Chains A and B, each alone.
Chain A
Amino acid sequence: MWTEKYRPRTLDEIVDQEEIVSRLKSFVKAKNVPHCIFAGPPGTGKTTAALCLAHDLYGENYREYVMELNASDERGINVIRETVKTFARSRPIGEVSFKLLILDEADNMTDDAQQALRRTMERYTETARFILIANYSSKIIEPIQSRCAPFRFTPLPRDAIIRRIEYICEKEHVSILNDGIEAILDLSEGDLRKTLNILQTAASVGKPINAEIVYSVVGKANPYSVRDMIFTALNGDFISARSKLRELLQKYGLSGMDIVRQIHSEIFKLDIPDKWKVKLADITGEIDYRLVQGANEEIQLSALLAKFIEVGYEIKKVS
């Protein structure tokens, strides 16, 4: 996968986020790292920066000194209590007197686990430093935030992404047209991982990459978008809308919560009277709350789709 093949290995290889990189380099020089929070949108180099820091700090065999955990997969308190603690409490052999623990998607940790983590960070500071990676630092509890040096990653500038696309195309002997680059930028929303995934998929077609190819592969990767489902419902076809919902939930592994949030962000882009937008937002909020309370995803989202059917009908009646 090109996302991995072209992932920078050292801090020097990271082309953007200059300020962050220079601060991290100063840690390497001092052979000391504080606990850190790397926050920012997806695909902006947070995990890469953490891995590069580890590489520069410990050398080629950095894996021996680093534990990488993904909080979405192992979000329970027991992982913190057992796995993390076992790793954190012994002192490594070598120049650097501590190990590095990279906790990805840390904003998905339960509150309990975060509380346990806070104690662990405190107790084993001598032997282990933590890098917490999150989209939103606000979802990390205050006591942890106050123990960490914050790093804010920003979406990569267009130029930087274009340079990256061109660099990879050259290396892979892939030709790409300007409208192809534009299309990728349009679809990837500043997320470099998404950019490279789209690029590689478009390249797999085996022709010079143009806008048409890009839109076609992305379209195939997401056959039923949430927006598509909403339009089907507004047009009054509940049964098709429900099939699309099932597809999203089952085949594409979206959670009910993902879908609710996406529906919400689509509502205000719709070409319907404001009165209805607000009404739909209200209902969406209610469904969101029900899902948080543990109601069944498909049933609740179906009820939401039925409301879209109702709105579509009312609007047609007026016009």
Chain B
Amino acid sequence: MSFRATYIPWTQKYRPKSLLEVVGNDEAKRKILEWIQTWEKGIPEKRAILIYGPPGIGKTSTIEALANDLNMELIISDASTYRTEEAVKRTAGRASQAGSIFGKKKIIVFDEVDGVSGTADTGGLREIIDVIKNTRVPVVLIANDAWDPRLASLRNLCELIEFKRLSVHDVARYLQKICLKEGISAEDKALKFIAERSSGDLRSAINDLQALAQGKTKLTYEDVAWLAPRDRKEQIFNVLRMIFYAKNSATAKSAVNMADVDLDMLFEWIYENAPYHIKNPLEFAAVMDMLAKADIYRGRINKTQNWAFLRYVIDLMTAGVAASWSKKTTGWIPFRFPERIRTASMKKEEKGLLEEIGRKIGKKCHISSARAVKEVLPYLRIILWNNPKMGREIAKWFDLNEEMLTYIAGEKLPSSAKF
């Protein structure tokens, strides 16, 4: 639903003014408040916190409400502003040194830090690190993904505070409050439906509510139930079917606009599912060729930051795929969730652990961490399986901890090999 600028978004209108109005994440809110209060007694050990979690659950709102409660001034930089070294220095850098004897106390906020661009915001992250190291006022970083590798060095300087998805109950209650103030009598079932659909994203739930209920005095379940077919899962399946079985290139290309997922995600869905549908080897090779070429254009976009190339990515991954095969399949084939996405979040943590193991082994064996993982780790795994005692001794000598040991041995770790 898109509205033009003639109205105030309810997400703005009903932004919490006080911490008491922010729903959910009580533990996280308490931690933030405590940390801010330690500044009264001088500069704490961690001069910055990194608040992370999925979108629309109140990360930024919490900070705004808190500043309001404590009568502090917020200096916010988000992804809409340039965050080059210069820009950061000019705004946040200066504010972080300013005394607060007169006027309001300050909080410096870097919202959407995972959006600091590597190319456009040259040196930005480094400068943020500098600000944190030297700041005399609290610094708050906000991100969706705290484990983004680019944030690695920032992460060490911050206390990490996680925000979790809101419960259906919390979201529905907030929607109810808005309805009361707007003079709408809403059925519980209707609000619960919107809340469920939002999967814990309060912002999107409020947007949906406004789209469905603004100007009405009553909101019934029937008013909202028609949204059901827009359910994410079904949507992506329909889009995929449209692409794979498109009769012409225009249909295949138009499917992209219907997709409820972003283009990279759609690409993963197509790549994951292509081999299940396209069984003829020659046709499949042609389809894979199209996807590989689309991937090359993605790389070119990355390299040049020229998003005009996106049109070729779309052409190749939709029309290119559809045109490369005869679309003859027997029976109904279900679509599968992309494996690469399923394992992506796990992989990041796993990767960090693997690197750490590699470093430790590499140091003792005088080889690089990459080679340690490739050449020594597989053997250590087998030794752990065959001879836990020997394996444990080696692991100890490498200075590996229990988490690492469990990871290396996998499911098969015999209990005698645990520390």
Contacts and interface: CB of A to CB of B under 8 A. Distances in A.
B298 interface: yes
B368 A310 contact: no
Contacts of B370: 72-73, 253, 255
B149 interface: no
A197 interface: yes
A253 B381 contact: no
B370 to A, nearest CB: 6
Contact of B359 (A73, A303, A312): A73
Contacts of A238: 275, 284
A227 interface: no
Interface string B371-385: 101111111011101
A296 interface: yes
Interface in B258-282: 271, 275-276, 281-282
Interface stretch (B50-58, B194-202, B389-397): B389-397
Contacts of B191: none
A72 B368 contact: yes
B310 to A, nearest CB: 16
B299 interface: yes
Nearest to A47: B366
* A105, A295, A313: most-surrounded residue (chain B CB, <10 A): A295
A51 B365 CA distance: 12
Interface in B87-111: none
A18 to B, nearest CB: 22
A124 to B, nearest CB: 23
B303 interface: yes
Interface stretch (B25-33, B180-188, B238-246, B286-294): B286-294
B354 A253 contact: yes
A104 interface: yes
Interface string A186-220: 00000001100110110011100000000001001
A30 interface: no
B305 interface: no
B391 A204 contact: yes
B329 interface: no
A273 interface: no
Given A70-B368, A73-B369, A236-B281, A253 B374 contact: yes
B177 interface: no
Contacts of B404: none
A313 B374 contact: no
A306 interface: yes
A193 B391 CA distance: 18
B401 to A, nearest CB: 18
B289 A306 contact: yes
Contact of A299 (B271, B282, B347, B359): B271
B275 A313 contact: no
A205 B284 contact: no
A72 B378 contact: no
Nearest to A68: B366
Interface string B132-174: 0000000000000000000000000000000000000000000
* A68, A204, A242, A300: most-surrounded residue (chain B CB, <10 A): A204
* B284, B367, B387, B390: most-surrounded residue (chain A CB, <10 A): B367
A294 B364 contact: no
Contact of B373 (A4, A253, A310): A253
Given A252-B378, A294-B303, A201 B383 contact: yes
A310 B281 contact: yes
Nearest to B398: A1
Contacts of B284: 238, 306, 309-310
A57 B291 CA distance: 58
Nearest to B290: A303
A242 B284 CA distance: 13
A15 interface: no
A239 interface: yes
Given A1-B397, A73-B359, A236-B281, A104 B366 contact: yes
A198 to B, nearest CB: 7
A293 B394 contact: no
Contacts of A110: none
Contacts of B291: 299, 302-303
B343 A204 contact: no
B296 interface: yes
A108 B367 CA distance: 12
Contact of A205 (B287, B364, B368, B387): B387
A222 B379 CA distance: 9
A177 B386 CA distance: 19
A89 interface: no
B343 A250 contact: yes
B381 A221 contact: yes
A72 B372 CA distance: 11
Nearest to A255: B370
Contacts of A206: 386-387
Contacts of B340: 246, 298
Which 6 A/B pairs are nearest by Cβ-Cβ distance? A72-B368, A303-B292, A306-B288, A221-B378, A313-B281, A204-B387
Interface of B: 271, 275-276, 281-282, 284-285, 287-289, 291-292, 295-296, 298-299, 302-303, 339-340, 343, 347, 350, 354, 358-359, 362, 364-371, 373-379, 381-383, 385-387, 390-391, 394, 397-398
Given A51-B366, A236-B281, A295-B299, 14 more contacts: A1-B376, A4-B364, A73-B369, A108-B368, A193-B365, A197-B379, A200-B379, A201-B386, A238-B284, A253-B370, A255-B370, A290-B292, A305-B288, A310-B281
